[in-house]
Structure 1
């Protein structure tokens, strides 16, 4: 059963080939844009890899990079096919190439759609990765002398200043960790001794935050120590006064930033996907309408083009049949090799055990 049949007079075939040529170059540009978006997103994720716990989120930029590179190649060949489409002597050479070409094109176009879906679906994974990564980053903030963590303080400080955030969930996360290194504490003072003794784990905890949490737009000088102590500061009320530090957590800020990027990129890539599907459908119409001219002397007659000659299930099996036959052939050959090896081993054993006469 032929699906989506359309009649193509000679003039309509010419316009189809010309329009498809232009559309293919636009889709090539769309593939390049997809590739660049994937590279940019991967670079942004790597910039803050120290505050992420896993690399599963990299599947989104990697998918966009692969799909973008494939789209550029697919659409470049589509432009070449369009150039030869109306030449009766040059187009037949593409006949054997078009079937695997459509298989690869459908696969990578589907991969592009998967990249779009993942860009919207990876929010939970990204949030979990940031939650654990930022928690560890804050915990190791003071370890400037520890190999592998020397730049953790710099990373967190730059992050909080750039995104105007503080802590993981909020600024109170800094109250639960010792973020001041022991090398900068005077253990002979009563205050330090009391604070360490009052903590079960022997940590120096303060109701303060690093300088990078200070809000530069606040008219009041930054209060980063004794934040919850109203009597320690003049005309200060912790419960009611607007704090002059960033109150939003960095996890929320980073999540909004990355999801904003991926959602925007997803909309762009979805447009490229639609354009790519249009190119493949138009190329299929052009192919089938030109195949009807094979063996005819008059190339200006009206022909019919279609998307599928059979049903979807039959078409899929037609494309999968050569692959299945190849796999079956390999299995048969492997079985024959093992059988021959087993027979040779049996005959050798029999010869060795035969008594001499």
Structure 2
């Protein structure tokens, strides 16, 4: 007994075919959009790849690009099938492919769903990648003369300005590293000598931050040096006063930025999954309705269904086919072994 049987006359079949054709081309546009979003996200990640600890973060955008391209091809094919479905001669060449096409669409929908889940869960791996990457990037901030690291200062400065952030977790991270190159330190100066000598690792540490941490909206001129020394500045108390530098860490800012982007992309991919499910159901009804119609009487009523049998019977048939396939492989393997033994003897 067919599941969810529906009767169709010629007018309904035509409307269904036209509606599906439109939905398929909307799905093609959605595929183009997914491809574009994946490409944009990849470019955004590549812009700040120096601050990423690994390249695993590019897996999701690469996957989005691939599924976007696949969606365009799969849905364009479906649109062509729907376009030719009302012409018996043209539809005859597509009819043998429809069953495999629907199976492929089902598998593709699962891949789309997994891609959406990856979009939502990527923030976790991105969080750790940025944590380590920013930490290392801050260490290399001063290496403007070192090949391969000479652009790190510019990258970090532009990031802090663009995302209104400072440091990895907060501005105090800059206190723990030497971010001024030795090239610009006067080691004949007593204060510089004292700072270097007082540090176990011989680093020049200070309670200062780069200029890119300054908040231009602050009415007071930027205080970026001696941040914890209240006596170094007039009418200043770093415990109670709002600092005129960004207090938000760049890791939090970047995760928020990329996370918002990935949540939006993931939600759109989920919507596309629903659209794919809808067109699959519609195409199944259309093809079964065409199969049961009378070619000599196009205006006659026909029946379309979602499954030829009940869900239980369909699952049982699938399991039986899988078991049969497994037994076939086993018999084939035993036959090859017997032949090998006979050859040896």
TM-score (norm 1): 0.88
CA distance 1:134–1:32, shift in 2 (3 Å): same
CA contact (8 A) 2:171 2:209 kept: yes
Alignment of 1:25 onto 2:25: yes
Q: Deviations over 1:51-99 (max 9, x none)?
A: 1112333232222222211111111111211122112222122121112
Partner of 1:52: 52
Alignment of 1:126 onto 2:126: yes
Name which of structure 1's ranges 120-129 and 283-292 shifts more when overlaid on structure 2: 120-129
CA contact (8 A) 2:3 2:310 kept: yes
CA contact (8 A) 2:293 2:303 kept: no
2:34 and 2:319 map into 1 onto residues whose CA distance is 29
Q: Describe how 1:61-100 pairs up with structure 2 within 5 A.
A: 61-100=61-100
2:331 and 2:194 map into 1 onto residues whose CA distance is 79
Partner of 2:223: 223
Deviation (angstroms), 1:323: 8.3
Name which of structure 1's ranges 169-178 and 23-32 shifts more when overlaid on structure 2: 23-32
Deviation (angstroms), 1:37: 0.9
CA contact (8 A) 2:293 2:301 kept: no
Partner of 1:14: 14
SS of structure 2 residue aligned to 1:304:
strand
Q: Describe how 1:44-193 pairs up with structure 2 within 5 A.
A: 44-193=44-193
CA contact (8 A) 2:165 2:250 kept: yes
2:317 and 2:91 map into 1 onto residues whose CA distance is 23
Partner of 1:353: none
SS of structure 2 residue aligned to 1:86:
coil
Partner of 1:202: 202
1:300 and 1:90 map into 2 onto residues whose CA distance is 18
1:337 and 1:154 map into 2 onto residues whose CA distance is 66
Partner of 1:4: 4
Alignment of 1:303 onto 2:296: no
CA contact (8 A) 1:175 1:209 kept: yes
Gaps of 5+ in 2: none
1:135 and 1:301 map into 2 onto residues whose CA distance is 72
Deviation (angstroms), 1:316: 6.1
CA distance 1:50–1:331, shift in 2 (3 Å): farther
Partner of 2:40: 40
2:56 and 2:177 map into 1 onto residues whose CA distance is 28
CA contact (8 A) 1:63 1:111 kept: no
SS of structure 2 residue aligned to 1:7:
strand
Count, aligned residues: 345
1:43 and 1:334 map into 2 onto residues whose CA distance is 50
Deviation (angstroms), 1:166: 0.3
Deviation (angstroms), 1:258: 0.5
Partner of 2:243: 243
Q: Deviations over 1:135-192 (max 9, x none)?
A: 1111111122223212111111111011111000100000011111112212222212
Partner of 2:267: 267
Q: Deviations over 1:92-136 (max 9, x none)?
A: 221211122112211112212222222222222111111111111
Q: Please provide the CA RMSD for this pair.
A: 2.4
Gaps of 5+ in 1: 348-357
SS of structure 2 residue aligned to 1:205:
coil
1:282 and 1:138 map into 2 onto residues whose CA distance is 55
CA distance 1:178–1:289, shift in 2 (3 Å): same
Name which of structure 1's ranges 257-266 and 309-318 shifts more when overlaid on structure 2: 309-318
User: Which runs of at least 4 in structure 1 moved beyond 6 Å after TM superposition?
Assistant: 319-344
SS of structure 2 residue aligned to 1:231:
helix
SS of structure 2 residue aligned to 1:76:
helix
Q: Deviations over 1:285-330 (max 9, x none)?
A: 1011111126x52222111111111344654676788888778777
Partner of 1:256: 256
2:321 and 2:67 map into 1 onto residues whose CA distance is 25
SS of structure 2 residue aligned to 1:186:
coil
TM-score (norm 2): 0.91
Q: Deviations over 1:196-229 (max 9, x none)?
A: 2221222111000111111111122211111111
